[in-house]
Amino acid sequence: MTIVRSLALLVLVAALGGGALALAYGTRDGLLVAALFLITGTPVLGLSHLLVRRRDRVGSLSRQFQVVIGVAVGLVLLAVGVVAALMFFSAHDAFVLALLLAFAGALAAYSATLVARTVMEDIESVRDGVIAVGEGDRDLRIETGADDELAELASSANRMIEQLSEAESRCGASQDARRQLIAAVSHDLRTPLSSLQLLSDAISDGLVDSETRRSYLQQMSVQVRSLSSLVEDLFELSRLEAGDIDWSLQQVQMGDLVEETVEAMRAQADSRGVWVSSDIPDDLVLARANPEKLQRVLFNLIQNAIRHTPADGSVTVRAESNEHHVEVEVADTGGGIDEHEQERVFEPFFRGEQNGSRSRKGAGLGLTICRAIVEAHGGRIWLAPSTEGACVRFSLPRATGAS
C-alpha cells in the first residue's frame, strides 16, 4: 500500500470518527477529534512507511512489530494529553486513560513478540530446508507449526524438492543409459572393424590364394552390411528420440497390413521350422498411423519372435480394437523372457542372458526402435502376460471416425 492510499484511509477514518462525535456532542468536538486523528495518525503512518523501506536497519520481525506498536502507542498517548488539555478532562481521568493505553500497548508488543517468534521459527525452518537442498539433501521435508501462508510456502518447497529429486533421478538414469549405449555401440563397432582390418591386411599382404581371397571378400561384405545396418538403426533411433519425424499419419487397415507382413515373413519362419499365422477379427477398426513405419514395427517383432522360437514352435499375430485404440500383439511359444529382464527388453543393445552373446546377429536395437516408433504415434508398447513364450503388445490411436 502506498503512502497516498494510507493517508486517504486515515482521512476517511478521521471523518467517520469526527462525524460520529459531532452527532453526539456537537460540531466543535467532532472537528477537534477529526483533527486529532489526522495529527496523530499522519506521523504514525509516515513512520510505518519509513520502517517498511528501512526494515534492514531495524532487525528481526519481532523488533519491527515492537517498533510499530511503540510508535503508535506513544503518539496516541500524546494525543490523550492534548485532548485532556483542550477538552478539559480531569488530570485523573487522563492519567488513567494513559495508563490503560500504555498497558494495552505493552500487551500488544508482547503478543506481537510471541507471534513473531513462532513465525520466525517457521521462516527459519523453510530457510534451513532451502539451504540443505542447495547443499544436495533431497530426503528432507520442511515442516511448519501453523496452517498459514508459511505452511503453503513449505508445501511448495516440499513439492519442489520432490520434483528436483525426480528430475535428478531421471537425469542420472539418462546419463547411465547414455554411457551404456556408448559402450555397447563401441563394442558392436569394434568387433566387425577388427575383423575387417584383419581380413584386409591378409589380402593386401598377398598371403592368401585366390580362393581364400574370395572367401575373405565375402566375409568383409557381410561385416560391411552388418555395420551399415547398425549405423542405420542408430541414425533412425537418434532421429526418433530427437523428435525429428517427417512422416505423415493416415488411416491404416491393420488387418491387411498384418496379413501382408505375416506373408512376407513366412519364408523366414519356414526355414526355421516355425509356424507363423495371424488372427484378425472382421470388425477391426482403422488405426491412425504411418503404414511404412508400422510395418517396420511388425517386421521387427515377428522377426524377433521367430528368432527366439524353436523348431515346431509358432508365432501368432493378433489384433483387436476398442473405443479408443487398436491393439496388436505378437506372441511366440519360445522360452520367454526372465522376469528380472522384462523391464529392460526395450533398452538399446539389451539382449538378455539367453542371447547375450555379441556374436549373434542383431544389434539389440529392434525393440528400442519399435518403442520409439509406437510412442511417436501416440501409442505405447509393453510385454503382456503370457503362459508360454513371450508376448509383445502395442496400441495405436484409433482413426477419427473409424468404424
pLDDT score of 58: 63
Please compute the mean of the pLDDT values over residues 292-300 and round it to a whole number. Answer: 90
Question: Average of pLDDT values for 219-248?
Answer: 77
Pick the CATH number of 250-397 from 3.40.50.410, 3.30.565.10, 3.10.450.50, 3.40.50.1000: 3.30.565.10
User: Which band of pLDDT confidence, cut at 50, 70 and 90, is reported for residue 359?
Assistant: very low
User: What's the pLDDT score for residue 356?
Assistant: 39
Question: Residue 205 phi/psi, 5° resolution?
Answer: -80, -10
Q: Which tens digits make up the pLDDT trace of 255-277?
A: 899 999 999 999 999 999 999 99
Q: Decide if pLDDT at 314 tops 90.
A: yes
- Boundaries of every domain in the chain: 3-134, 152-241, 250-397
Q: What is the mean pLDDT of the chain?
A: 79
- The pLDDT of residue 332 is 93
Give the confidence band of 391 by pLDDT, cuts at 50, 70, 90: very high
pLDDT over 50 (residue 328)? yes
CATH code 1.10.287.130 for 152-241: yes
CA–CA gap between residue 253 and residue 281 (Å, rounded):
12
Task: Copy the grid coordinates of residue 110.
Answer: 508482547
Q: pLDDT tier at 358 (50, 70, 90 boundaries)?
A: very low
pLDDT over 70 (residue 278): yes
Instruction: Tell me how far apart the alpha carbons of residues 120 and 143 are, in angstroms, rounded to a whole number.
Output: 13
Please write the tens of the pLDDT for every residue from 73-129.
776 666 666 666 665 556 666 666 666 666 666 666 666 666 677 777 888 888 888
Question: What was the pLDDT predicted at 260?
Answer: 92
Highest mean pLDDT among 25-34, 106-115, 225-234, 291-300: 291-300
**pLDDT score for 354:** 47
**Nearest C-alpha neighbor of 237 from the set 117, 141, 354, 367:** 367
Residue bearing the bigger pLDDT, 399 or 350: 399
What confidence tens digit (pLDDT) does each residue in 156-193 have? 888 888 888 888 887 877 677 677 667 767 767 777 78
* For residues 39-65, average pLDDT: 70
Among candidate residues 39, 376, 391, the one with its CA nearest the CA of residue 240 = 376
pLDDT of residue 263: 92
